Amino acid sequence: MARLMRGTLLLAFAAFLWRDGSAAPDPRLAAAIPAIESTIKKSGADVAVAFRTLDGRTQWLRRPDEPFHAASTMKVAVLIELYRQARQGKLKLDDPL
């Protein structure tokens, strides 16, 4: 869990530093990447990063072609479906499991 949290925080930090959609990355991001890579290496976790600005003009990819197990990302899809079914009246969010 700590490894997942660390990876999530690193991605959030990178997103914060990459503030606009210019063709060149923010110099603060370029300066931060070595520290991010070092933290990832020290963690011992398998980490990939896929970051792109909303306009799609800039991106930062780390290990983009390696397959990873979806793990906790599946929780998001399950929650979306849960809320969709609750909105349709098929279940209540406080129903017992």
Rounded Cα distance, 45 and 91, in Å: 38
pLDDT at 8 over 70: no
> Minimal CA–CA distance to 88: which of 12, 37, 68, 80?
80
Distances (CA, A) of 40 to 3, 7, 30, 49: 9, 7, 16, 11
- What pLDDT digit, counting tens, does each position of 49-90 carry? 887 767 776 778 899 999 888 777 788 888 999 999 999 999
67 token code pair: 């397959």
pTM, rounded to two decimals: 0.45
Asked whether residue 20 carries a pLDDT value surpassing 80, the answer given is: no
- Strand, helix or coil for residue 76: helix
**What are the structure tokens assigned to 84, written together?**
């969709």
